[in-house]
Structure 1
Amino acid sequence: MTEPKPKIFALIIFIIGVFMSALDNGIISSALSTINYAFNVSEVQGTWGVTLYTLGMAISTPIAGKLADRYGRKKLFLIEIAIFALGSLMVALSANFPMFLAARVLQSFGGGGIFIIASSHIISTYPKEKQGGLLGALGAINGIASVVGPNIGSLVLNVSGHWSWLFLINLPIAVFVLIAGTMAIPETKAAHGGNLDFKGLIFLTFGILSFMLAIANIQSQAFLSSLATPQVFIFLILGVIFFIIFSQIEKHIKGKVEPFLPYNLIRNSGFLLTLFMGLLSGTLIAIFVFIPSFVEHRYGISASNSGIWMSGIGLGSIIGAGVGGTLVNKFGATKSLVISGILSTLGFTLITFLSPTTTWFLVSSTLAGIGFGMLMGAPFQVLMSEIAGEKQNGVALGTLSVSRQVGLTLAPTIYATLVQGGFANFVSDKLSHISGTAGIHAGQSVENLYVQIRHLTGTAHTQALAAFQQTAQMAYQNMFFVSIIASVLILIGGFYLYKHNF
């Protein structure tokens, strides 16, 4: 039986909104240098445009999910779209860097709830046998946006000549979604019987903010030592304190107040394990950032062509998101987690130990992409909605999204530390034995070392390049090994949940 056209059109509107918000995360990466130059700020300062957006998304996601369940998903979705559009306009019109950062925060408050509300709409509107495929489609949209975002950004930047158009293109899309959504999206909300838990909301917000600020202050080139710096450990301690206070508030709520994150979920082992696996899935998605550098350093592919070799893992993740939804409909969420864990483990194992050529890497990375692409869509969301129930669905999905965002934020620092550590003794151990390389000194970034080696000539160039690629294989091997561990833990977690009938 086919779905009514109004129902399909409403779903298309949600998908367009999800694509718009997901695209923004990738599209800005193509213009970071241009934006930094326009505002005359350093690279470190420039990254706060991304960091603050991440912080805002992490804070607003569970809040939007809870408010949507309570006051109406259509209403909150349209409000989120409007805030995102206003933030996009303010970013484009920013006259200075502080205004740019403030506008990015506003934009993030709008973007944080779009995906979660769309997911909640599917779960509340469609029968269970169709939810997996549709949630998988939403995950595929996120995957597509993350892959094509940098390419679209570069195209818009080249055509328009100014970075502001990267954000102005959101406005006509947002206007269409607002008008069409007002007319076509039905209103849905979860049943509730109490006042909103504002006290819990405040402490949860400060807890998330503290942890995300701690992660943002970790330095990749001095990972362990930076953990001991005040700007990291103080925020970590504050985060723990705020979350303890939050859990106690939720535990002792009485009367007509409706808990923000019900204590029965906090005590639920399946809920907590799903959050942990969501965090691990975020660490796998973060691999995208390092694929071009790996291909360039390991196989000698030029920087201009290295992005092409993301095609396998990118296409695989898109296929995996769709397949994941189908598997959830057929086998259930926990079995799908086990299957995706197996594929992801196998793919990253092949990348780590059995990819001597780019062809092998393309095959291995596609398999890995299919595995973790399955995790981006249906399995986690369906599992979380089943654990939480319809009444608590929005906040549960929002919390899951935050856990994934934490993994996605933390992983690049860990990966960069492992890669940099793999090259720590490269100059003294490898280059010191090659004549003609005395001018290359230790303590540089991996990219700078590679550039200097490429400028060598004759035998020195050949020997140094071979040594560099050999070292790159081992250095990046450490990074991919972390992905193997994450995949295995997801596999074990999925098997545990399956055995215990979650």
Structure 2
Amino acid sequence: MSTAPPASAEAAARSDAAAPMNHREVMESLSGLLLVLFVAMISSTVVSTALPKILGALNGTQTQYTWVVTATLLTATASTPIWGRLADLFNKKLLVQIAIVIFVAGSILAGLAQNAGQLIGARAFQGIGVGGLQALVQVVIAAMIPPRERGRYNGYLGGVMAFATVGGPLLGGVIVDSWLGWRWCFFVGVPIAALAFLVLQKTLHLPTVRQANVKIDYWGAGLIAAGVSILLIWVSFVGNSFDWISGKSAAFVGAGVVILAIAVWVESRAAQPVVPLKIIRRRTPALSIIASLAVGMAMFGGAVFLGQYFQIGRGYTPTEAGLLTIPMMAGVLVSSTITGRLISRSGTVKRFIVAGTVVLIGGFLVLSTIDHETPLGLVGLGMALVGIGVGMTMQNLVLAVQNDVPLQEMGAASASVTFFRSLGGTVGVSVLGAVLANRVTANITESLAQAGIQASGTGKTSALNINALPEAFQHIVRAAYGDATGHIFLISAAIAVVGLIAAIAFKPITLRTTIDLGAKPSAAAGDAASAEGSASATGSAAGAKAATRS
């Protein structure tokens, strides 16, 4: 008798969790989540065009330039699986708000940094919050909306992503060119994050279903972060501080590989692993992870250096550089909005992912031809193609995985895909940054030798602080950066080919119309499908059965 009420309450909570919300409830809750997503994205995009000036003001190096970006991506990557696991166990709304608080604290610390080292440390702390925001938005949306109807709302997500990526670089350029100064590139996200916190407090209401014997796999997360960090540090310094084939290289690579191998062993034995091997061994999640790794490496690794190309390589101001990146962000906005609608109507996703990776590869191949004199029209075309490809792939790879797992594993599954996408971005930025730094150094050395100029004439001035260099050096440095950038986009295209192969290997995916795997479609889901012009009730039931079989 005494145990019946708790069991009944738990059953009711699970029933509520599985029941989809109506359109009005979804839109009210989505408003706060969209603000959260905007805050997470603006943290990187607002500084993308400002970084050359920021590192110039702090007298930073090209390696430090790379690590300002990599530090955030690395900690976001390491923390994402933990946030995802916590979302399966605790109150999702509270977790989002905690992530917002961490993000705000990191933003303030970054804005107060006095040197490049402090800035890198603050960005690393900020990345913990960013990892939570990125993972939890996906998890909360999956808990509210069935996969078939999620494409309908992905247009809103794509719009916010595009607005953040278009407006962020432009806003960052305006800030550093104004009396506010570069520090406000970090402070500007604080009031937006505070507003998101308040909106979520009022609009987001999700039931909490707690599980007994909660265990968080901190060892697994720590080992993964340590192993990846060691390999990234090796990539950053190899070729400059020591040779590729040397004792130091062997020590770095050996230590990284051993630690990652131990991490896999720990994950295989953990009761609640931070990266569940039973999920990522399935065909759809495994292929989504491979594609996400490739797309993340190509997209993050290539796009991070566009602002540097326009400012250092072409001589544009940060504001102008922000405007020049609009073709890429417009491509993300248009493709994600249109693709989301088409996916909701058709209930299929594979063909859009395949087409997106093809367009992404084409965009990178166009950008691989650029140098410091390439017509801006050709650069804009390449960026637009990259944006279209990204809009068609990134969110839909997460959607494919969410469609393949039950609600109780949604957090871990979503976070796993986000984890590997962020890991790909971290590796991409680090590897391509190292390639760029080495090529720039070689180009500058060669050009100086041809001009008969002593390299010591630069003194201790950073090459990124180009306006402080002697006039004889400025043209050489600009040409070196502009000519080297095309090579990293060629590497990005090669990496994206791996994503295309994974996308082609997908089995046909029919998106289910229910929140949970195997559940019966509800009336609310049917009404939403009708409002969107989706398939009939018979077609929806068939789709749900097909999704269950997959």
- The 2-side partners of 1:31 and 1:472 are apart by 17
Residue number in structure 2 paired with 1:408: 425
- Using the size of structure 2 for normalisation, the TM-score is 0.72
Letter paired with 1:387:
D
SS of aligned partner of 1:498:
coil
Match of 1:264 among 261, 270, 278: 278
Equivalent pair of 1:136/1:322 in contact (CA under 8 Å): yes
Matched, 1:279 2:293: yes
Letter paired with 1:12:
S
Equivalent pair of 1:320/1:373 in contact (CA under 8 Å): yes
Residue number in structure 1 paired with 2:47: 28
Residue number in structure 2 paired with 1:489: 498
Letter paired with 2:279:
L
- The 2-side partners of 1:302 and 1:166 are apart by 21
- Distance change in 2, residues 1:41/1:309 (3 Å): closer
- The 1-side partners of 2:509 and 2:233 are apart by 37
Identity in percent = 22
- The 1-side partners of 2:248 and 2:156 are apart by 40
Deviations 1:109-166 (CA, angstroms, capped at 9, x unpaired): 2221112211111111113222124245435533432343233223334545344433
Instruction: After TM superposition, give the deviation of residue 394 of structure 1 in Å.
Output: 1.4
Gaps of 5+ in 2: 1-20, 511-549
- Distance change in 2, residues 1:288/1:41 (3 Å): closer
- The 1-side partners of 2:85 and 2:410 are apart by 8
Residue number in structure 1 paired with 2:349: 333
- The 2-side partners of 1:94 and 1:365 are apart by 32
Q: Please identify which structure carries the higher helix content.
A: 1
- Superposition RMSD in Å: 4.2
Letter paired with 1:271:
P
Residue number in structure 2 paired with 1:127: 146
Instruction: After TM superposition, give the deviation of residue 407 of structure 1 in Å.
Output: 2.2
SS of aligned partner of 1:86:
helix
Residue number in structure 1 paired with 2:17: none
Instruction: After TM superposition, give the deviation of residue 279 of structure 1 in Å.
Output: 1.4
Equivalent pair of 1:132/1:325 in contact (CA under 8 Å): yes
Match of 2:303 among 270, 288, 303: 288
Deviates more, 1:104-113 or 1:444-453: 444-453
- Distance change in 2, residues 1:3/1:500 (3 Å): closer
Residue number in structure 2 paired with 1:314: 329
Letter paired with 2:151:
G
- Distance change in 2, residues 1:396/1:294 (3 Å): same
Give the alignment of 1:21-420 within 5 angstroms.
Answer: 21-29=40-48, 32=51, 49-92=68-111, 103-135=122-154, 137-159=156-178, 161-188=180-207, 193-198=211-216, 200-219=217-236, 222=239, 234=251, 236-253=253-270, 257-285=271-299, 286-291=301-306, 301-304=314-317, 305=320, 308-329=323-344, 330=346, 332-352=348-368, 357-377=375-395, 379-416=396-433, 418=435
- The 2-side partners of 1:360 and 1:29 are apart by 21
Specify which structure has the bigger relative contact order, considering alpha-carbon pairs within 8 angstroms and separated by 6 or more residues.
2
Equivalent pair of 1:84/1:111 in contact (CA under 8 Å): yes
Gaps of 5+ in 1: 457-464
- Distance change in 2, residues 1:202/1:119 (3 Å): same
Residue number in structure 1 paired with 2:24: 5
Equivalent pair of 1:220/1:416 in contact (CA under 8 Å): no
Equivalent pair of 1:92/1:167 in contact (CA under 8 Å): yes
Equivalent pair of 1:60/1:109 in contact (CA under 8 Å): yes
How many positions carry a matched residue from both structures?
478
- The 1-side partners of 2:68 and 2:429 are apart by 16
- Distance change in 2, residues 1:293/1:194 (3 Å): same
Letter paired with 2:290:
F
- Using the size of structure 1 for normalisation, the TM-score is 0.79
